[in-house]
Structure 1
Amino acid sequence: MGGYCGYLATVGGLAAGADAAYIYEEPFDIRDLQSNVKHLTEKMKTSIQRGLVLRNENCSENYTTDFIYQLYSEEGKGVFDCRKNVLGHMQQGGAPSPFDRNFGTKIAAKAMQWISKKLKEFYREGHVFANSEDSACLLGMRRRALVFQPVIQLKDETDFVHRIPKEQWWLRLRPLMKILAKYKTSYDVSDSGQLEHIRVSSPW
């Protein structure tokens, strides 16, 4: 799932302690796959006898789920076994968490207040004239606040071909995955959060 957006794979990987998460926003090649297999092979020599690799739905046209599964299976012979699971729509729905219930209540209340206010604002002689920019809005969370943003403003911030935002704040979390998975590398991250370069070292 996720289409061209690697958010699900990234935060899912962070939450589950994944060794790698392949996403569309960070192009990868066979050298990256080799490095990940090598890391997993070394990891299996320690007390941690498990690994997890995630692949975003449209991360690569050629490096498919089957290809990655077969590569890991072949390279891991005698060291580790692989199993493949395509979650698909299984990850949707289910019982809502307390956060989900609380968040749903808050945004529903905020939306109803906004609609009531706009109806009063745009009501004239028995008709509602909702033809201004702020009459078509998207409600979302920005920096812990619920914010209404006119759809027209989102036009400049959106990659409509891939259905993703042009700027994705969560990409700054990507180096954390490698650090938590204990890759033998160190990272320099710029003030903007972008990974500037990686130095090979052995901190562990």
Structure 2
Amino acid sequence: MLSSPPQIREIKWADVGGWTGQGGSLLGTKRTLPAKHVEKIAEQMRMNNINALLIVGGFEAFLSLLELITARGKYDEFCVPMVMVPATVSNNVPGSDLSIGADTALNAITTTCDRIKQSASGTKRRVFIIETMGGYCGYLASVGGLAAGADAAYIYEEPFDIKDLQANVEHLTEKMKTSIQRGLVLRNENCNENYTTDFIYQLYSEEGKGVFDSRKNVLGHMQQGGAPSPFDRNFGTKISAKAMQWVTKKLTETFRHDEGRVFANTEDSCCLLGMRRRALVFQPVVQLKDETDFVHRIPKEQWWLKLRPLMKILAKYKTSYDVSDSGQLEHVIRNRPKESDASVAM
């Protein structure tokens, strides 16, 4: 809508054939927030008779929805149903446990870590320092580290200091005396402005001198490429279909027959569709503001932090794992229909 001339066209079924298996953003991406361009966007929505918005994206998409709902007071064009589908490898969108693309990136990180460890299968006493993406969100480093069997994963959400780094070096030194003489350390790109990947690599190299040597690797944008994982393909299809059902329902509810137009200005007409545990839930974006750390662009509470002690336990650190949250352990129980119900269904 902001390009000149605006690139707005109708997309039909034939235009999206094969998109499920392709990586990247075939619709295009733009990080520009709408606040400074609301008048132009409103004009284009009016000219093209746009009566609803489905926004696909990460934290910028979340901020965009907040700005568009604020602009409703000045422009009626934004008084339409608006819904966001979270899609970012960083998995840092408030209101959703998972985002489209995060699983694919996680697969790329785990596969790369496995290959790096395999490349050193004949080399003993070596530690790999690997930097992952994610902004300030440590999801990729933590869950990727758990999957790849990392000895440590440094993230912003869990502050660490030089004493923690020294403890990790000492732990790896002891590990080299066992039959497993390889180490793997992951670092989120923004976990600490001073303890950079180079700093940690040099520290491990110096402190481990004579015991093990170190190598570093910055994965970079390799985490964003490749074909989507089966989970992301199915998740994207499922969540988008549910979003379109919601849009269709809202259009019916908010259509004013006397005026011949759609008018939706309530909080629940501007939502984020996120996965909460195993359910897809529509949440008004204005209600998610209290759950958000806008400075660091992450949710204030993140479910995967409870998994981090598991990584330390598997790396043979002396620690405990909290299993008090029964929701993480409960099983899915499928209720079998009674014989009478089954006969009726037949």
Regarding TM over 0.5, the answer is: yes
The answer to which structure, 1 or 2, has the higher relative contact order (CA under 8 A, 6+ apart) is: 2
Measure, in 1, the Cα distance between the counterparts of 2:321 and 2:276: 27
What amino acid is aligned across from residue 207 of structure 2 in structure 1? Answer: E
- 1:88 equivalent to 2:220? Answer yes
Query: Mapping of 1:42-61 within 5 angstroms?
Result: 42-61=174-193
- The alignment of Structure 1 onto Structure 2 pairs a total of residues equal to 192
- 1:186 equivalent to 2:327? Answer no
SS of 2:319's equivalent? strand
Residue of structure 2 equivalent to 1:157: 291
Measure, in 2, the Cα distance between the counterparts of 1:17 and 1:139: 32
Corresponding residue to 1:26 among 154, 158, 164? 158
What amino acid is aligned across from residue 287 of structure 2 in structure 1? Answer: Q
Measure, in 1, the Cα distance between the counterparts of 2:137 and 2:325: 20
Measure, in 1, the Cα distance between the counterparts of 2:278 and 2:325: 20
- 1:7 equivalent to 2:139? Answer yes
What amino acid is aligned across from residue 273 of structure 2 in structure 1? Answer: L
Corresponding residue to 1:74 among 168, 186, 206? 206
Displacement over 6 Å in runs of 4+: none
Unaligned runs of 5+ in 2: 1-132, 327-346
What is the percentage of aligned positions where both structures have the same residue? 86
SS of 2:215's equivalent? coil
Unaligned runs of 5+ in 1: 194-204
Q: Which has the greater radius of gyration?
A: 2
Give per-residue Cα distances to partners, 1:1-50, cap 9 Å, x unaligned: 21111111110110111100011111111111011011111112212121
- Pairwise CA distance, 1:79: 2.1
Over aligned residue pairs, what C-alpha RMSD do you find?
A: 1.7
Corresponding residue to 1:175 among 293, 301, 309? 309
Residue of structure 1 equivalent to 2:130: none
CA contact (8 A) 2:309 2:321 kept: no
What amino acid is aligned across from residue 284 of structure 2 in structure 1? Answer: P
- TM-score, reference length from structure 2: 0.53
Measure, in 2, the Cα distance between the counterparts of 1:189 and 1:151: 31
SS of 2:217's equivalent? coil
- Pairwise CA distance, 1:68: 0.2
Residue of structure 1 equivalent to 2:339: none
What amino acid is aligned across from residue 148 of structure 1 in structure 2? Answer: F
CA contact (8 A) 2:309 2:319 kept: no
Give per-residue Cα distances to partners, 1:99-143, cap 9 Å, x unaligned: 111111101110111111111111123321121101111111112
- 1:129 equivalent to 2:242? Answer no
- TM-score, reference length from structure 1: 0.88
SS of 2:145's equivalent? helix
Residue of structure 2 equivalent to 1:148: 282
